[in-house]
Amino acid sequence: MEAFIVEGGYRLEGSLRVDSAKNAVLPLMAASVLTPEEVTLTDVPDIADRHSMAEILSILGAKVTPTGRGLTISSGGLHNWEMPDRLSKRIRSSIFLLGPILSRFRRATVTYPGGCEIGLRPIDLHLNGLKCLGVRIHEEGGLIHCDGTRMHAGEIHFDYPSVGATENVMMAAALLPGETVIHNAAREPEIVDLQQMMNRMGAKVRGAGGQTICVEGVKALHGVTWKPMPDRIVAGTLLAAAAITGGEIELTDAPVSDMVAVNAKLREMGCVLHEEPHRLTLTAPRRLTAFAQLQTQPHPGFPTDMQVQMLALLCASEGTGVVVENVFENRFTHAGDLNRMGAHILCSGRTAVVRGVETLYGARVTARDLRGGAALVLAGLRAQGVTQVDRADLIDRGYDHLEKQLCALGGKVTRIEA
């Protein structure tokens, strides 16, 4: 198992280009199943979840070929509709393949997906949406068997605007005759990116980014070359890294228009941000000022994937701030590790109260999920001494060699066998 060694006390400064978004790349890889022709994704980050998804596609019969910074997927030889149990439990985004496989084979067998332990994240919204399209579902022996022989266009209303369920139904409906309407759809920008690529493949999808999405089924889709959108969470994490060290950073290829909520909180903490199309600069004060309150919400509210990074910033800020987690019920698991580093965090249910301290101290801590692990690295950048963050593999799920990116900005972060 690998770990990150973080030497604190170095001010981050410099310029970096933002990678393509993990949360866009994975559903786009799943969408490649909708056509037997080649789909090429350019500028795909070297993250663990990408490799897990590629392995699942290969087992299903697709050919996945790395092409420099990108990859080409050919699903013409797809012959399997049963997703591998071991890999599905490793990566939650495996559930994105359910809709495309049903569209291709009219049947699918899946297990409950895995991923980070940040809450229950049930897939009932995915399954209920597919039932509205005529899919018959039954569970047996821990497997979910889906029969789509009677699939049809339909009308779906989600009780909660789930990103994954919205994308799954969009893909499942792409080749169904008639019009499918999705009400209370998630509005995240990654859904817009999926719509745009699908439409370039010949689909007829409209409304992404709003609360109602319409999918008019077509007979077939064709291949495409597509560059996924940049990663707003990676961009936010890098901004937070500069902010906690009192640094100055420039991000190019940044999804500026999708980062309004995060940028507003950084300004509230005393950072100066300058925004241009696809370019963002941040200059941080020597010590941040605590914001009064942060509440996570579905887009366009504050993203849950940036909550714990902002919690780390609060730990080293002047004043007291409150964080309320409204999306997942188990996203304060790293509070104990941050307290070991000298922070003062009091958690009760979905609320954390943080009293900022002047100094954090290096310690040996453990990543328990992707974003929480990144937050511990951020705290280590500010801390006196050396911090060891175990389970670097969890951080690798969504960051392309985070240690190299931070070192490029003047940080001291190395990877070791632990």
Tokens 């979910």 label which residue? Answer: 144
Choosing from 116, 146, 271, 315, which is the catalytic residue? 116
Tokens 């080749």 label which residue? Answer: 175
CA angle 93/98/100 to nearest 5° reads 105
Residue 37, Cβ density class (10 Å: 0-12 exposed, 13-18 middle, ≥19 buried) = middle
Strands 2-7 and 412-417: antiparallel
Cα atoms in the 13 Å half-sphere on the side-chain side of 121: 19
Q: Where are the beta strands (DSSP E) in 141-216?
A: 143-147, 155-157, 179-183, 204-206, 212-216
Residue 213, Cβ density class (10 Å: 0-12 exposed, 13-18 middle, ≥19 buried) = buried
**Joined tokens for residue 54:** 């590629």
3-state secondary structure (DSSP) of residue 417: strand
Residue 210, Cβ density class (10 Å: 0-12 exposed, 13-18 middle, ≥19 buried) = exposed
DSSP state of 354: E
Nearest to 285 by CA among 237, 319, 248: 248
d(CA 162, CA 400): 26
d(CA 312, CA 40): 37
3-state secondary structure (DSSP) of residue 278: coil
d(CA 233, CA 263): 12
**CA 41 remoteness from chain centre:** 17
Cis preceding linkage at 255, omega within 30? no
Amino acid at 128: N
**Joined tokens for residue 26:** 């994975």
d(CA 148, CA 169): 13
3-state secondary structure (DSSP) of residue 65: strand
Is residue 116 flagged as an active site residue? yes
CA distances from 388 to 2, 341, 362, 383, 416 (A): 10, 11, 8, 11, 9
Mind telling me the catalytic residues? 116
